[in-house]
Structure 1
């Protein structure tokens, strides 16, 4: 697999430093604990690289990856992000889903708040062809192997496929073998753990 063209040089964490710090304070004030951030730098740089205008993500939580994608897509006219997110079972958590996304970015964002088996089908009806997808929802092997092919099929040639937490099982490896496409694997360091992100270019 080969990535060509100009790679953005401005770091996401530097470009949006004030906004990130402001939204991090918001998260710290929330009593409910949900999912983490993911690799925001990777998501932003790849969205910028392909100049994405149509994107689908699975899994929202506080909305860090949504915010990251929207900050990139918002620079291009006619952009749209569709996100799927299974509601959390803890009390009042639904009110915090996507809470880090400011109102000014929500006009190009659609959240489908139900399980991937239904929501992803609807997302692909809204955006049948996409420039980029970010998978971070169903953590089970069977769920990934169901969703990955649907997202891959919707990607335009040259589009970017990003999968979080690929070290949890062999789903990403098996999918890469199934489509006969070598991936990029990126190590993402966290405070207490090290996780891996898988990237494919169609």
Structure 2
């Protein structure tokens, strides 16, 4: 397995578009920006501010939340069947689908930008909600798992062909993809960050999309327990309205007001 991984990494490194991104990912793992809190302090802060999204969703739209839960069950079942035949781990995504489906429909979002596709759990949730509402477009940024053979074929494998009309997928890494996406959009209603979990990776993406965010839009950041970037951002920028929710094993930070559209 180790020899196979090395061979796959070398094959991707020979791609002139991929090699600089791979180097930067390695560098960020070795030398990353430091946050205001240690990992232990950050987790304690997160736990002290964590809310129950299901309870909030039932207040905001009980019928819509029921639809979202049913969507999540169906999506997870389909994902299990699809991924059963793939010998590689493509990362997790189960558990958050009902939340993403709910907020997309509830906020009546027209433009959604996400980073981090992997198997496509989140993409499927966004695109399914878009199909139901009959409006909206999803722009996705990803970078192939370079340890795997022919990794491009696995990106968004859970997304059904019937959903792809409203989807634009870019696979050269956030630093190349986001400028291309931002050139195409006037305003972002939902920005979902789930790619490079380093502090500096988050900082780059947030800085990139800031000027294009709808003032009533939502920023959703996955795995905020990995470092204190989310904590630091809301403190430094004095963000007035934000939430923390837990889905399965992950903590998700949300910036924006869910109670107003």
Same fold flag (TM > 0.5): yes
Structure 1 residue 195: Cα displacement? 2.0
Distance 1:187 1:20, change over 3 A: closer
Task: Identify the residue that residue 161 of structure 1 maps to in structure 2.
Answer: 219
CA contact (8 A) 2:118 2:156 kept: yes
Q: Secondary structure at the match of 2:253?
A: strand
Which of 223, 227, 244 is 1:185 aligned to?
244
Trace 1:103-142 onto structure 2 (pairs within 5 A).
103-142=161-200
The 8 Å contact of residues 152 and 161 in structure 1, kept in 2 or not, is answered as no
Which structure has the larger Rg over C-alpha atoms? 2
Cα 1:92–1:107, aligned 2, differ >3 Å: closer, same or farther?
Answer: same
Q: Using a 3 Å threshold, how does the CA distance of structure 1 residues 26 and 107 change in structure 2: closer, same or farther?
A: same
**Compared CA separation, residues 164 and 18, structure 1 to 2 (3 A):** closer
Show the counterpart of 2:25: none
Runs of at least 5 residues in structure 2 that lack an aligned partner in the other structure: 1-55
| 1:19 positional shift | 4.6
1:195 and 1:133 map into 2 onto residues whose CA distance is 18
Distance 1:59 1:140 in 2: 13
TM-score calculated relative to the size of structure 1? 0.89
**Contact 1:32 1:93 (C-alpha < 8 Å) held by counterparts:** no
Q: Provide TM-score, normalisation by structure 2.
A: 0.70
Q: Which structure exhibits the higher relative contact order, with contacts defined as CA atoms closer than 8 Å and separated by 6 or more residues?
A: 2
Considering only aligned residues, what root-mean-square deviation do their CA atoms show, in Å?
2.1
Q: Is the 8 A contact 1:13 1:20 kept in 2?
A: no
Alignment-derived partner of residue 117 in structure 2 = 60
Query: Which of the two has greater strand per residue?
Result: 1
Matched residue, 1:197: 252
CA contact (8 A) 2:117 2:123 kept: yes
- Cα distance, 1:16 vs structure 2: 5.6
Aligned-partner Cα distance in 2 for 1:101–1:180: 37
Count of residue pairs brought into register by the alignment: 196
Kindly state the Cα deviation for residue 9 of structure 1 after the two structures are TM-superposed. 2.7
Unaligned runs of 5+ in 1: none
Q: Cα offset for 1:28?
A: 1.1
Are the aligned partners of 1:131 and 1:159 in contact in 2 as well (CA < 8 Å)? yes
